[in-house]
Structure 1
């Protein structure tokens, strides 16, 4: 039994020694980690509240219609100008034919009015000539009247003959007055037709604008990619009604690059500034390091841009450390960033100034 006890005691001593050694190594490791963390804390400002960002643009419909074709799939890469969705254009084509017919009718009406104005102008010219002739005849009758009046005073003509001449003078005067009124009437008709022509021209402009709007609707019935990028989830179905201004999908814009938005605590921003270098680690690629430059600071804390900003004046005040979004532009080339996606979590270290 003593030999067995000695074996157990020897084993226990070995286990205790191993335990001490493991604990010693763990303790030394913790000390080293603590020292390195303290050094890093002194040398760097660090945050793990950071994400990769890209511009995600909504694609809006600029026309009403039913979806006829869908040319893209979920997460498909597209180029600027690629057709994404085609709306049914049959109704718009019918409206275009009606608009073209209305425009033709308005243009024909304008030609009729212009012809009427030319006719009215001709009538006015004729009336003016008739006035001139009537005035000449009136002048002749006035001279005739004066001559016969003198003859009557000398008893050279009879009273009846003089009265005939006097009647002819009054007829000539009435004829001149009638011609003047006819001339004024023709001028009024010309002015009326000219006003109708202006209305017809405005109507033609309106019909042309309506036709141009229909042409735009036909053009907008083909919805294209506004930029190079990747499409998001497809939410449309063939036959679905799309309204003007409706969002039909989203595209992640490749042309404007990628960046990091790192949310630093307000106690950290005193040590960092625009233009400072930053080291970035993406959680999805822990063995790869990226580099960037601070591009800008948010003009306000993130909470101030929330839907309901906190109001400390309400009396329910609890002091909470605020965070400032800091935009960091990548310095790496596009090939190194090709696998990064918007929304990926990141960790950022910035040397203290």
Structure 2
């Protein structure tokens, strides 16, 4: 048995005098529900609006589409940049391998010219070779050593470049950003909801963060009742409540107190009242009390759970009502 039904049974079968009713007559206040405003994360031109006001939508359903031309171009450019970065890395690997091969050939040349220099020096000592031949052998050996050093430095630089994956990672990140921007050209419902006010039209240029339409979450409704501060002494979370909505005479809603506001309603006003020093007039403050609705009855004695009940009246945000809290 739900809390509301247990309360009804105890109220009807027990001693009514043991209950105290604290009423907020015309103190309401307003029906509420969790309401969100759908806004794009990127800017662009609206090319399709797939819902109307007051239409029910499911979580994940596409509600609106923006022009995809720019974002599709960004995706193609990102793919090309990534391919170029990967090709450059592969070319660097080939260049490094070529430099290694050239370096080995240069080392062989150093060894060969060194042996030739030793042979010419031996011939010069025996008078079998001229000084010009010795100078030529030394020059060739020095050139081979310089070439070997150059190839070694080039190979080292190319191997160091191979270890730098930053260009590829940067291109991958840019492509992910472009894919994300492309996905964000479609605005989807984040939860099951009913479309409220719509402030966007086909062809509008919208900016990131601009509220385009309101979504009322399909969850049990709640009421915020502004009780006088002198009425709160015996109220506690979980206390049962009855709600009568002006728009639906003959229906009774049953609910429970969920929470109390940490400040009076006046403190949340756009310009909170601040009495001047020496000119204070005591005014009874009202504290917002949140009441979650559990069940509804149309006078036939049947209590239906609000969530998922097809026959229950659809409560709009902002309706007025009368609330009574029952405390011991």
TM-score (norm. length: structure 1): 0.73
Unaligned 5+ segments in structure 2 are 1-15, 296-304
Please name the residue that 1:212 is paired with.
176
Aligned to 1:64: 43
Deviations 1:79-132, CA, capped at 9 Å, x for gaps: 222221122222333333333333333333333222222211212222233334
Q: How is 1:85-96 mapped onto 2 (pairs within 5 angstroms)?
A: 85-96=64-75
The separation in 1 between residues aligned to 2:174 and 2:63, in whole angstroms, is: 27
Q: Once the 2 structures are TM-superposed, how far is the Cα of residue 62 of structure 1 from its aligned partner?
A: 2.2
Q: Is the Cα contact below 8 Å between 2:40 and 2:187 reproduced in 1? A: yes
Which of 9, 20, 42 is residue 43 of structure 1 equivalent to?
20
Q: CA deviation at 1:77?
A: 1.4
Shift of 1:272: 0.7
Matches within 5 A, 1:287-326: 287-312=250-275, 317-326=280-289
Distance 1:126 1:44, change over 3 A: same
- Measured against aligned partners, the alpha-carbon deviations of 1:197-218 in whole angstroms (never above 9, x if no partner) come to 456x433333332232222222
Q: Give the secondary structure class of the aligned counterpart of 2:89.
A: helix
* CA shift in 2, pair 1:73/1:173, >3 Å: same
1:220-231 residue pairs with structure 2 within 5 A? 220-231=184-195
- Rounded Cα–Cα distance in structure 2 between residues aligned with 1:194 and 1:319: 82
User: Which residue number corresponds to residue 300 of structure 2?
Assistant: none
Q: Determine if contact 2:39/2:209 at 8 Å carries over to the other structure.
A: yes
User: Out of 167, 186, 190, which is 1:203 matched to?
Assistant: 167
Alpha-carbon RMSD across the aligned residues, in angstroms, is 3.2
Of 85, 88, 91, 1:109 maps to: 88
Where structure 1 has 5 or more consecutive residues not aligned to the other structure, the ranges are 1-38, 149-156
Q: Distance in 2 between matches of 1:134 and 1:90?
A: 64
**Which deviates more from structure 2 when the two are superposed, residues 245-254 or residues 221-230?**
221-230
Distance 1:177 1:315 in 2: 101
Matching residue of 2:201: 237
Give the secondary-structure state (helix, strand or coil) at the position aligned to 2:230: coil
Q: 2:46–2:202: 8 Å Cα contact kept in structure 1?
A: yes
From 279, 297, 300, the counterpart of 2:242: 279
Residues 219-257 of structure 1: CA deviation (Å, up to 9, x unaligned): 221222221121112322211112222211011100x32
Aligned residues: 298
Q: Name 2:54's counterpart in structure 1.
A: 75
CA distance in 1, matches of 2:282, 2:241: 29
Determine the C-alpha separation between the residues in 2 that align with 1:185 and 1:352.
93
Q: Does 1:263 align with 2:242?
A: no
Instruction: Verify the 8 A CA contact 1:283 1:345 in the aligned structure 2.
Output: yes
Alignment partners' CA distance in 2, 1:298 and 1:132: 90
Aligned to 1:190: 155
Residue 66 of structure 1 contacts residue 87 of structure 1 at CA under 8 Å; is this kept in 2?
Answer: yes
